[in-house]
Amino acid sequence: MTMEKKDLRCRSCGSLNLETVLDLGRMPLADALLTEDELNSPEAAYPLEAAFCTDCSLLQITETVPPEMLFCKKYPYYSSFSDELLRHSRENALELIESRGLDEKSLAVEIASNDGYLLKNFVEKDIPCLGIDPAEGPAESAEKIGVPTICAFFNAELASQLTGIGKRADVIIANNVLAHVADVRGFLAGVRTLLKEDGIASIEVPYVRDLIDNCEFDTIYHEHLCYFSATSVDRLLRTNGLYLNSVKRIPIHGGSLRLYVGRKDEPDAAVKSLLEEERERGLGDISYYNEFAAKVNNVKSGLTYILSMLREQGASIAAYGAAAKGATLINYVGLGKETIDFVVDRNIHKQGRFMPGVRIPISGPERLLHEQPDYVLILAWNFAEEIMAQQEEYRARGGKFILPIPEWKIA
């Protein structure tokens, strides 16, 4: 929904005091991978601009693409294609089972449960659980592995329907979804309704500090409406009757926060010290974000330089990871088929499709050994270790990897 800038209000506090921090221009939808027959049709593109609220410190994008267009029938993202994410999620699940003393009388609900990648750990322990996810493909996959799943968007109404049939959650898990929700107030009202009085919500969100410090500008795309600090999310939760009671910095997805949220206001030392740290580092001031656009521009020119030089030398270049962040990076930097021959990805639902905007074909990882490109640009840099470990043979044959951020590096 493109609104006049003067009418734009903060997604959290409603303030009109939004300052543009980075303008990536009009960009296609990052997960709208094209099929062959869509190549000849026009492709939607929307403004992608990050703005900082000087009243509540929330970094957010200004455009709201209808969620039905983002998380639609052909949404291609399946969490289970990353071993690192599966390990991380299993640790998250087992920690909650242990710390909350969950058993057969408990209920764990995951919002944005995708393909059952996390709740399968509750099923394994015979702990009643329920997944909620609007994407049909992943929801079907979850059901196939025994994770009961409601294929719908989570909101206050669904929460009331569930409590209406006697379901209240001891634990709500909501990883990589709070930042995606346009009606964040309705979402949090639903969490509050569904959560037992002494229940806990374990919520993971990308951490804006890692985004700015490591120049992770490619994690900005239309699915990610908000980019949270502890300061901004604490404020958002409080104004919606929930409280940040503990917090942990975690490395997943380029650096995230794991938030432990409850219905009572009982912040622990970790919350107090992170809020103090953010005050000292200035995450609540626009000055912390002022250099970001210039840093992003440096990444763009550095990548353009090295990739065009390699091409001029006759090198062949492919890319690894048809990730949403990859779509932002290659479209913003302007890396088309003249630079990148193809993208590979383990996710079978992405293979055979084309990257949005630049329309580079997506194949399976086996193509790296079949064609042995000289270089592979890792678009899914957050899983670079896992990916490079898998591609030992490609490297043994002389292949080299390029990491794009915070500045290009040949590995």
- In the complex, the residues that contact ligand DWN under the rule CB under 6 A are 77, 81-82, 84, 176, 223, 253, 321-325, 345-347, 350, 380, 382-383, 386-387, 390
- Let me know: does 270 contact 234? Beta carbons within 8 Å: no
Least distance CB 264 / ligand DWN (angstroms): 29
Q: Report d(CA 283, CA 265) in Å as an integer.
A: 23
Strands (E), 122-265: 129-132, 149-150, 169-175, 195-206, 226-227, 243-250, 256-262
Q: Which residue lies nearer to ligand DWN by CB, 284 or 356?
A: 356
The residue (of 21 and 322) whose beta carbon lies closer to ligand DWN is 322
Least spacing, CB of residue 322 vs ligand DWN, in Å:
5
Among the residues of 248-323, which ranges form H helices? Answer: 269-281, 292-312
Q: Which is nearer to ligand DWN, 31 or 49 (CB)?
A: 31
Distances (CA, A) of 78 to 119, 162, 164: 14, 26, 31
d(CA 310, CA 397): 18
Peptide bond into 406 cis (omega under 30): yes
Reading the block at residue 181, the tokens are 């929700």
DSSP 8-state class, residue 248: E
Q: Cβ of residue 122: shortest distance to ligand DWN, in angstroms?
A: 20
Minimum distance from residue 143 beta carbon to ligand DWN (Å): 21
CA torsion, ordered 110, 241, 194, 85, to nearest 10 deg: 10
Closer to ligand DWN by CB, 192 or 253: give it.
Answer: 253
Would you say 245 or 347 has its CB closer to ligand DWN? Answer: 347
Q: Which is nearer to ligand DWN, 89 or 347 (CB)?
A: 347
Whether residue 353 contacts residue 34, with contact meaning beta carbons closer than 8 Å, is answered with yes
Can you tell me which residue has the tokens 């992170």?
274
Least separation in angstroms between CB 112 and ligand DWN:
9
User: At 103, which amino acid appears?
Assistant: D
Residue with tokens 């242990």: 98
Nearer to ligand DWN by Cβ, of 261 and 344: the residue is: 344
Q: How far is the CB of 384 from ligand DWN (least distance, A)?
A: 9
To ligand DWN, the closest distance from the beta carbon of 229 in angstroms equals 17
Tell me the closest approach of the beta carbon of residue 195 to ligand DWN, in angstroms: 22
Query: Is there a contact between 377 and 357 (Cβ–Cβ < 8 Å)?
Result: no
CB of residue 152 vs ligand DWN: minimum separation in angstroms? Answer: 17
Q: Is 396 helix (H, G, I), strand (E, B) or coil?
A: helix
Least distance (Å) between residue 77 CB and ligand DWN: 5
Beta bridge partners of 174: 203
Q: Which is nearer to ligand DWN, 307 or 355 (CB)?
A: 355
Is 22 strand, coil or helix? Answer: strand
φ/ψ of residue 47, rounded to 5: -60, 140
Decide whether 33 or 275 has the Cβ nearer to ligand DWN. Answer: 33
Helices (H), 246-291: 269-281
Comparing CB distances to ligand DWN, the nearer of 277 and 386 is: 386
What is the rounded CA–CA span in Å between residue 211 and residue 3? 26
Strand partners, 243: 262
